Amino acid sequence: MESLIDLDYNSEDLCIYLYLLNEIIKEKDFKPYFYINSTDKEQILEFLKDYEKKHKLDSEITKMIEKIETVKKIVFDQDYQEKELSKVTVKYPNNVKTVREILMEFERLYEYDIPFIRRYMIDNKVIPTSNWDFKNNKLIDNKIPEFKTVSFDIEVYCHKGPDPKKDPIIMASFSSKGHNVVVSTKKFDHDKLEYVKDEKELIKRIIEILKDYDIIYTYNGDNFDFPYLKKRAEVFGLELKLGKNDEKIKITKGGMNSKSYIPGRVHIDLYPIARRLLNLTKYRLENVTEALFDVKKVDVGHENIPKMWDKLDETLVEYSYQDAYYTQRIGEQFLPLEIMFSRVVNQSLYDINRMSSSQMVEYLLLKNSYNKGVIAPNRPSGKEYQKRIRSSYEGGYVKEPIKGIHEDIVSMDFLSLYPSIIMSHNLSPETIDCDCCNNEENEEEILGHKFCKKNIGIIPKTLMDLIDRRKSVKKILREKAKNNEFDEEYQILDYEQRSIKVLANSHYGYLAFPMARWYSRDCAEITTHLGRQYIQKTIEEAENFGFKVIYADTDGFYSKWANGEKLTKDELLEKTKTFLKTINDKLPGEMELEFEGYFKRGIFVTKKKYALIDENEKITVKGLEVVRRDWSNVSKNTQKSVLNALLKEGNVENAKKVIQDTIKELKDGKVNKEDLLIHTQLTKRIEDYKTTSPHVEVAKKIMKSGNRVNTGDVISYIITSGNKSISERAEPIETAKDYDTNYYIENQILPPVIRLMEALGITKDELKDSKKQITLHHFLK
DNA sequence: AAAATAGGGAGCGACA
DNA sequence: TGTCGCTCCCTATTTT
């Protein structure tokens, strides 16, 4: 019983190494290949020989060819017809590039750009990380094996941005089950400390420790820890032979990002996963730790590290240790989901860790396509890609809300609207206007297109498989829940159904993703078009039934009972149930409208901006300034308190008081400086901005003071007093001499709360008038 | 991926 | 000639 955790092509042994938990299988038979749109073997060879002659090469190219054979396949790009073409197999993976570049001039090629080990995973059955019987090539069970996991983090002695040429690594921390250690080149008084005499010894020790583990977690290790460690190792003439079989670490650079790969182990960088899975305003390790565990990590600030090091301050050791400790905990939290993605998509954990959801969908489609004997469409050329990027289409429907406060609200939404539309209408790039159903009668046209009635397309088919699998997993989960069996298997299955949901929901985005092989703008457009039809029709039906729809966005709506009578909550929910049954009987099989929630009160401000409170006094805020990062805390806190007063207490007077109190605090200079900070992201390089804006001006000021600013950084600033433009008065917290009270009152406090009040019909003047008592029921609609 | 809101800057005409 | 107010453009962010 064994488990595949990684695989790599070994260029010394000239074969694929399948790294199992406790052994290595050498796969010598699998060879790289691609397809060419020609059945004439001789002509293909002739073309290669001509090339050799022309470039004065000894049969170097033809030697790369292992074999050329005729195969019968359905070619996706050629009207989905079965036809004969040639499969060109070459001897080694790096031959593919050479041979394909020559043959491209001869005929059209297919599947020539799939990395070799990914190709292996597409063509073979083995499911990564499962318990797999390699003798009989079949699954034993789905349990997650006992991996030895460790987290790893380094600290560097530097005053400015770390420079690997001169700034030494001073500490390395590790955390695993039962082993937490900070290896340091100085002696500190701390129970986790392990002392080594110099940096060279430290690097040796890092290698020694990491080589004990199957999975290594880092936070941004792809771009920082490993590349830095490698450069420092070079300084001492050391090699990072971290692989299972003493292979060297492979650091590859692609554009802005690099990847750090350790053969036979799995390096999991948690930073990209956190960005993908969590919805936060900042993604530094401390933000993620706080979001997941509600703990504030010890923070020392990078600029203080050298000082603390020189003074032998143990806080530095604690800081380094906590970095590793929380990295490990975040890793344990994310690993199961990554494992499930890896199993469902059938690609290695390392690759899955670095794939976007569109890429995962693509590899799932490649696998399904291979299993059906279909040759996948090619990725777009530069010109085609540009065309795709420019083309745009209409998206979801958003209904103008009935502004103001409403009570007894029921929300209903479609269960996976877009996936169910794609399935029920068979939307796929090869089913759109297919040849096989062209002359059939009674075919409905959608935006001038017809969809195949005979064969299920690859996109809907892949979706159906996912949905079916999810349904059966959820069925087992329900059974287990009934029997109170919340055991390990329950957790695994729960992660499985979650990963499937993510993949299913990514198919619509994939259709519109410009780099996609199975791109189809028309299918994407038709998906949203049908989505708009379904939601609008459903709103109509709901209103005919007796509901009043307050607001709707894309796949769901908020409504209340409008038939004059006042219903109790139970009566309202009963009506909802009856309505859902009626509507679901009319909808296609795959589609389902469901009850989402009951709210005792809600305030709707504009499209995409509203707040609701449920029976447990839980407030949900959407789109309002409270949930945006580019508003200061004073502003957000005030709006939050006002919302509280309105939704919880139903008290307009209290809301007014909150506003007046904050204004007083601002005028008295009692507001904390941090709470005045406005955070805005730099989304491009400073020189690329066409207009002046506060955050860009601040970025320039930061650069002038000698600090680095990168694209993607979040710039924080305070608006100081004066009479120049706002941009000119924006300052980083360190240099902000004061703050502009008037700006914060007029531009930060008032606009967000006035918008709330105006939704209730209270004017600015009424807000200022403290004599007139206003109660909420004046505004209930 | 599109829909949508909103702030700040810049340009422009009206007006004193 | 300065400034007010309107409108348009650019930019950031969120919701689905």
**Location of structure tokens 């409170």:** A613
A79/C12 CA-to-C1' distance in Å: 43
Question: What DSSP string describes A501-545?
Answer: HHHHHTHHHHHT-TT-TT--HHHHHHHHHHHHHHHHHHHHHHHHH
- Quote the pLDDT of residue A294: 85
- What is the C-alpha to C-alpha distance for residues A261 and A155, in angstroms, rounded to an integer? 21
- Quote the pLDDT of residue A704: 86
- Higher pLDDT: A183 or A767? It is A183
What length is written for chain A? 781
- What is the C-alpha to C-alpha distance for residues A313 and A311, in angstroms, rounded to an integer? 5
Tokens of A486: 């919340």
A767/B15 CA-to-C1' distance in Å: 33
Judge contact between A729 and A762, C-beta under 8 A: no
CA nearest neighbour of A551 among A662, A412, A738: A412
- Quote the pLDDT of residue A440: 61
- Quote the pLDDT of residue A779: 46
- Quote the pLDDT of residue A776: 45
- Higher pLDDT: A19 or A494? It is A19
- Which nucleotide is at minimal CA–C1' distance from A683? C12
A497/C5 CA-to-C1' distance in Å: 56
Q: List phi, psi (to 5°) of A517.
A: -65, -45
Judge if the beta carbon of A692 is closer than 7 A to nucleic acid strand B.
Answer: yes
Give A536's Cβ-side CA count (13 Å radius): 11
Judge if the beta carbon of A357 is closer than 7 A to nucleic acid strand B.
Answer: no
Tokens of A694: 């506060």
A397/C1 CA-to-C1' distance in Å: 49
- Which nucleotide is at minimal CA–C1' distance from A389? B1
CA nearest neighbour of A712 among A739, A733, A684: A684
- Quote the pLDDT of residue A780: 45
Judge if the beta carbon of A509 is closer than 7 A to nucleic acid strand B.
Answer: yes
Judge if the beta carbon of A524 is closer than 7 A to nucleic acid strand B.
Answer: yes
In this predicted model, what pLDDT tens digit does every residue of A500-517 receive, in sequence order? 888 999 999 999 999 999
C-alpha angle A343/A345/A347, rounded to 5°? 75
**For the range A191-199, what are the long-range contacts, defined as Cβ-Cβ under 8 Å and sequence gap of 24 or more?**
A192/A317, A192/A321, A193/A317, A199/A168, A199/A169, A199/A170, A199/A232, A199/A236
Compute how many other C-beta atoms are within 10 angstroms of the C-beta atom of residue A53. 9
In this predicted model, what pLDDT tens digit does every residue of A135-162 receive, in sequence order? 999 999 888 899 999 999 999 998 877 8
- Quote the pLDDT of residue A661: 87
A726/B11 CA-to-C1' distance in Å: 18
- Quote the pLDDT of residue A775: 46
Domains annotated for chain A, with CATH where assigned, are: 2-141 (3.30.342.10), 149-345 (3.30.420.10), 381-453+512-603 (3.90.1600.10), 626-671+743-778 (1.10.132.60), 673-738 (3.40.1820.20)
A751/C7 CA-to-C1' distance in Å: 20
Q: How confident is the model at residue A441 (pLDDT cuts 50, 70, 90)?
A: low
Which nucleotides of strand C come closer than 7 angstroms to any CB of the protein? 9-16
- Quote the pLDDT of residue A766: 62
- Higher pLDDT: A623 or A254? It is A623
Which nucleotides of strand B come closer than 7 angstroms to any CB of the protein? 1-10
Q: Which of A37-46, A185-194, A228-237, A442-451 has the lowest mean pLDDT?
A: A442-451
For A724, which DSSP code?
S
Judge if the beta carbon of A528 is closer than 7 A to nucleic acid strand B.
Answer: yes
Judge if the beta carbon of A694 is closer than 7 A to nucleic acid strand B.
Answer: yes
Q: Given a cut of 50, is residue A199 above it in pLDDT?
A: yes
- Higher pLDDT: A113 or A725? It is A113
pLDDT, mean over chain A = 90
- Which nucleotide is at minimal CA–C1' distance from A746? B7
- What is the C-alpha to C-alpha distance for residues A594 and A589, in angstroms, rounded to an integer? 14
CA nearest neighbour of A85 among A38, A32, A34, A42: A38
CA nearest neighbour of A18 among A128, A122, A96: A128
Judge contact between A723 and A569, C-beta under 8 A: no
Judge contact between A9 and A348, C-beta under 8 A: no
- Quote the pLDDT of residue A631: 93
A275/B2 CA-to-C1' distance in Å: 21
- Quote the pLDDT of residue A130: 94
- Which nucleotide is at minimal CA–C1' distance from A624? C14
Q: Which of A126-135, A141-150, A487-496 has the lowest mean pLDDT?
A: A487-496
Judge if the beta carbon of A393 is closer than 7 A to nucleic acid strand B.
Answer: yes
Exposure class string for A566-577: b at 16+ Cβ within 10 A, else e? eeeeeebeebbe
Q: How far from chain centre, in Å, is Cα A460?
A: 23
Judge if the beta carbon of A722 is closer than 7 A to nucleic acid strand B.
Answer: no
- Which nucleotide is at minimal CA–C1' distance from A748? B7
Footprint of strand C on the protein (CB under 7 A): A 281, 395-396, 413, 553-556, 608, 621-623, 627-630, 679-684, 688-691, 693, 695-696, 714
- Quote the pLDDT of residue A261: 95
A724/B12 CA-to-C1' distance in Å: 21
Judge contact between A412 and A576, C-beta under 8 A: yes
A413/C8 CA-to-C1' distance in Å: 37
- Quote the pLDDT of residue A301: 79
Q: Given a cut of 60, is residue A773 above it in pLDDT?
A: no
Judge contact between A603 and A611, C-beta under 8 A: yes
In this predicted model, what pLDDT tens digit does every residue of A603-640 receive, in sequence order? 999 999 999 999 999 999 999 999 999 999 999 999 99
A691/C10 CA-to-C1' distance in Å: 7
- What is the C-alpha to C-alpha distance for residues A509 and A132, in angstroms, rounded to an integer? 33
In this predicted model, what pLDDT tens digit does every residue of A289-336 receive, in sequence order? 988 888 888 888 788 888 999 998 989 999 999 999 999 999 998 898
A145/C16 CA-to-C1' distance in Å: 38
Q: Which of A66-70, A291-295, A331-335, A592-596 has the lowest mean pLDDT?
A: A291-295
- What is the C-alpha to C-alpha distance for residues A170 and A158, in angstroms, rounded to an integer? 10
pTM for the whole structure: 0.89
Judge if the beta carbon of A396 is closer than 7 A to nucleic acid strand B.
Answer: yes
Q: Given a cut of 60, is residue A203 above it in pLDDT?
A: yes
A339/B6 CA-to-C1' distance in Å: 41
The H or E element that residue A584 is part of is helix A569-586
User: Quick one: average pLDDT of A467-484?
Assistant: 90
Q: How confident is the model at residue A487 (pLDDT cuts 50, 70, 90)?
A: confident
CA nearest neighbour of A112 among A82, A85, A72: A85
DSSP H helical segments within A197-314, as ranges?
199-210, 226-235, 270-277, 285-293, 305-310
- Quote the pLDDT of residue A377: 95
Q: How confident is the model at residue A712 (pLDDT cuts 50, 70, 90)?
A: confident
